[in-house]
Amino acid sequence: MPPPPAPPTVDPASLPPLSLQIHPAPILRKRAAPVPTAPFPPNIAAITARMIEMMRAEEGIGLAAPQVGLSWRLFVVDVPPAPPHDGDRSPDHAPPTATRGPRVYINPRLTNPQGSAPPVAAEEGCLSLPDIRGDVLRPPVITITALDVEGREFTQTGGGLLARCWQHEMDHLDGILIIDRFTHLSRLKNRKAVRELERGG
């Protein structure tokens, strides 16, 4: 039996310039494709570095590839520790609730939402939905398995804002936005703003 063909790689010259996609951009509603891994596309490090720059420029804590016009199962996250006067969020918690600088998650999978704990409601915003914020229910603790930019697999359990950020970005890879997950009250509160955004302003 002949060996299976290698997954296709992407020529950097064929990629569109990365730019922040705003709802209702069609790419935000598509399920993203896995990143080719044998080998990685040669520009994967440059793409993830650029995504981290864009995330920081927009003052976000997470950014998924579909949000920059690339339909790949990939996101970046940087959840900073909280200052002493602003809550209790740290990479040293068990499980961690923050990161030690930016992290790259390629072809991620989420497992083991905390079984006995009920989902927790907290306010979320999204760089692809400017000026729209609302409450979303999510498991407070979850485990992620992914590849880093060197192709090494890792698994980590996170809680608090870090777990919420993973779940938010994972939704983007499946074409799901926070407006799909808002509580009923948040849907009502944001209905006009969403309609205006969908009409183009």
Select from 124, 148, 143 the least CA-distant residue to 135.
Answer: 124
HSE-CB of 188 using CA atoms within 13 angstroms: 3
Q: Residues 124, 169, 196, 198: which is the catalytic one?
A: 169
Token pair 């000026």 is at which residue?
A: 131
Distance CA 72, CA 173 (A): 7
Catalytic-residue membership of 124: no
Sorted by sequence, the CB contacts under 8 Å of residue 68 that are 6+ apart come out as 18, 19, 20, 21, 50, 51, 54
List residues with catalytic annotation: 169
